[in-house]
Structure 1
Amino acid sequence: MKLLSALKRCSVALAAVALATVSLQPASAAPQPIVGGERAAQGEFPFMVRLSMGCGGALYAQDIVLTAAHCVDGSGNDTSITVTGGVADLRSSDAVKVRSTKVLQAPGYNGTGKDWALIKLARPIDQPTLKIATDSTYDRGTFTVAGWGADREGGRQQRHLLKAEVPFVSDADCQSAYRDLVPGEELCAGLLDTGGVDSCQGDSGGPMFRKDDADEWIQVGIVSWGRGCARPDYPGVYTEVSHFASGIASAAASL
């Protein structure tokens, strides 16, 4: 597992996680500035979903959510997760809520790398899906992250979906911050010099994405872990989706 101060970006809160005050940071961690995002408009990222255990995710298919392995507890039948989709405001009367039926955690996941999982839904959510990168073509540049997680280190989960842009950080620079980075399975993004823009606790499992050559959104990462939130010299770490694309496709076909 990662060091205590470099934690997975999930929330342990259940039920009303969007409005709960949740911090998974060490007691000595000082709050940092706002993650640097802004509210997303309704319908801007229709593939985004919120999971009841306090994570994010994206619609891989209308009845399958792609999220982080550390957000779920193994594989098998599981009806305990409520997935909320179709809205940027979690309190909206238009929110669609669907229960899970099965969970498939990445084979061999042990807390380091391989941080992806799929959740099968009891019925489809009628929203556009987010395609995933199948090679490393789009693993560079400026990415978008979105989620209902904390807007600052140690802060509250959010009612409204937030978005922010983060630039790619090379493996070499990222390994200067995190010796236990798994190059090839993880990629990094953030403002190394200044910090101030990042995913945070409660954003785990959500997508990191960008536009492809056809001007369509494509998912290149899954929010995984980092030291604090938006700290200088400590970028966010994301599951490198393209590395696992064939495994994700095979797993989805088996659900």
Structure 2
Amino acid sequence: MSSRSMLLALAAVLLQTPALTQAFQDDLLQQCGTTTVFSNHRQGRLRQSGVSRVVGGIPSPEGSSPWMVSLQLLHPGMGYVGHICGGVLIHQSWVVTAAHCIKNEKYALPISHLWSVQFGPELKRFAIKEIVIHEMFAGYNHDIALVQLSNPAPYVPVCLPKSGQGFQGIRCVASGWSTTSAAPTTLTRRMGIPGPRAHVHLSVVSSSVCRNRYLSAYNITLNAGHLCAAGKGLLTSGTCLGDSGGPLQCNMADGRWYLAGITAFGSGCGRPGYPDVYTRLAYYLPWIKVQIKKHESAEKSGNYL
């Protein structure tokens, strides 16, 4: 299949996305964070490859993390690159991801028509209408972006945390795209399709411990917008550099999964004693709500840009 044929096929899939009724969207929002409960697997480890995919995690059961997406790029110079980062559905029309996935040293492409998101094993793909990068994003700080889908997605979103919710000591799950299964087919590689989902159990750890370790070893200053998680006794981390933009989700007393953070960075290759660092969702709730309200209000008034 030629590059042109692949692009035409991709465009056709994006145009076929059905619309959802408002009642159905509301019902999905009310079901936030409900999914197949992760089994009590032994702890695994995640690792980042050149395209930010999990390696060595535990295979995730079917139906888990329906809110998890693959963020994919159609590069103006390189053609269809495919999977770049993870992302998380927080609303029928909105996905949250890491800002550095879209704006980094290799490229800065916050151009909506160059990106798409892919859900689930059926490879359902959605076009993107708008990308909103945090206005103060720089380096390791404010590493968060919102992606507005062209059409609402018929999937259960993760629950957003409550303001100030810390999750410290809670056993959570980091999810990403595994490359540990059988080697991908030629078509899979050419189409940029991510591997099967994988997960690892982690616990949110003390911010002070994490802050001191990264400051002394890497001269990186962590702030209130960061959250850290690691394996038992800080002996292992969950990622090498992280499946960027992917979810750190925690199962709370009400049985629902809440988004504690999205993968930002780590010490590299599961270095013992160094937790992984996530963008703390509770800290950015006001920003998220303002951006969604602003864009949806603009659409209703006809002033959407």
TM-score, shorter chain, exceeding 0.5: yes
Find the residue that maps to 2:277 and give its secondary structure.
Answer: strand
Which of 247, 250, 258 matches 1:207? 247
Query: Which residue in 1 is equivalent to 2:205?
Result: 169
Unaligned runs of 5+ in 2: 1-6, 8-47, 74-83, 181-188, 296-305
Deviation at 1:58, TM superposition (A): 0.7
- Give me the whole-angstrom Cα distance separating, in 1, the residues matched to 2:224 and 2:176: 24
Query: Which residue in 1 is equivalent to 2:118?
Result: 84
- Give me the whole-angstrom Cα distance separating, in 2, the residues matched to 1:114 and 1:237: 12
Query: Which residue in 1 is equivalent to 2:68?
Result: 48
Find the residue that maps to 1:227 and give its secondary structure.
Answer: coil
Could you list the per-position Cα deviations for residues 212-243 of structure 1 after superposition, in whole angstroms to 9, with x for gaps in the alignment?
A: 23110110111000111322011100011101
Find the residue that maps to 2:90 and give its secondary structure.
Answer: strand
Query: Which residue in 2 is equivalent to 1:72?
Result: 102
Query: Which residue in 2 is equivalent to 1:8?
Result: none
Query: Which residue in 2 is equivalent to 1:118?
Result: 146
Q: How many residue pairs get matched?
A: 217
Q: Conserved in 2, the CA contact under 8 Å of 1:68 and 1:224?
A: yes
Between 1 and 2, higher relative CO (CA 8 Å, sep ≥ 6) is seen in 1
Deviation at 1:135, TM superposition (A): 2.2
Q: Conserved in 2, the CA contact under 8 Å of 1:48 and 1:57?
A: yes
Give the superposed CA RMSD: 2.7
Q: Which amino acid aligns with 2:124?
A: V
Q: Conserved in 2, the CA contact under 8 Å of 1:77 and 1:103?
A: yes
Q: Say which one has the larger Rg.
A: 2
Find the residue that maps to 1:137 and give its secondary structure.
Answer: coil
Q: Conserved in 2, the CA contact under 8 Å of 1:84 and 1:95?
A: yes
Find the residue that maps to 1:178 and give its secondary structure.
Answer: helix
Query: Which residue in 1 is equivalent to 2:214?
Result: 178
Q: Conserved in 1, the CA contact under 8 Å of 2:242 and 2:266?
A: no
Would you say 1:105 and 2:114 are equivalent positions? no
- Give me the whole-angstrom Cα distance separating, in 2, the residues matched to 1:167 and 1:76: 33
Could you list the per-position Cα deviations for residues 44-83 of structure 1 after superposition, in whole angstroms to 9, with x for gaps in the alignment?
A: 1111101114100111112211111111136965211120
Which of 143, 165, 170 matches 2:172? 143
Find the residue that maps to 2:165 and give its secondary structure.
Answer: helix
Q: Conserved in 2, the CA contact under 8 Å of 1:81 and 1:99?
A: yes
Unaligned runs of 5+ in 1: 1-14, 16-20, 26-33, 88-93
Deviation at 1:107, TM superposition (A): 1.8
Q: Conserved in 2, the CA contact under 8 Å of 1:51 and 1:82?
A: yes
Which of 90, 98, 101 matches 1:60? 90
Query: Structure 2-normalised TM-score?
Result: 0.64
Higher helix residue share: 2
- Give me the whole-angstrom Cα distance separating, in 1, the residues matched to 2:90 and 2:234: 34
Relative distance call for 1:86 and 1:193 in structure 2 (3 A) is closer
Deviation at 1:37, TM superposition (A): 2.6
Find the residue that maps to 2:282 and give its secondary structure.
Answer: helix
- Give me the whole-angstrom Cα distance separating, in 1, the residues matched to 2:248 and 2:258: 9
Instruction: Report % sequence identity.
Output: 27
Find the residue that maps to 1:210 and give its secondary structure.
Answer: strand
- Deviates most, 111-120 or 129-138: 129-138
Relative distance call for 1:147 and 1:248 in structure 2 (3 A) is same
Deviation at 1:177, TM superposition (A): 2.1
Deviation at 1:203, TM superposition (A): 1.0
Deviation at 1:86, TM superposition (A): 2.7
Which of 269, 274, 279 matches 1:234? 274
Relative distance call for 1:186 and 1:57 in structure 2 (3 A) is same
Find the residue that maps to 1:79 and give its secondary structure.
Answer: helix
Q: Conserved in 2, the CA contact under 8 Å of 1:131 and 1:217?
A: yes
Q: Which amino acid aligns with 1:47?
A: W
- Give me the whole-angstrom Cα distance separating, in 2, the residues matched to 1:148 and 1:41: 13
Find the residue that maps to 1:159 and give its secondary structure.
Answer: coil
Q: Which amino acid aligns with 2:282?
A: S
- Give me the whole-angstrom Cα distance separating, in 2, the residues matched to 1:238 and 1:133: 14
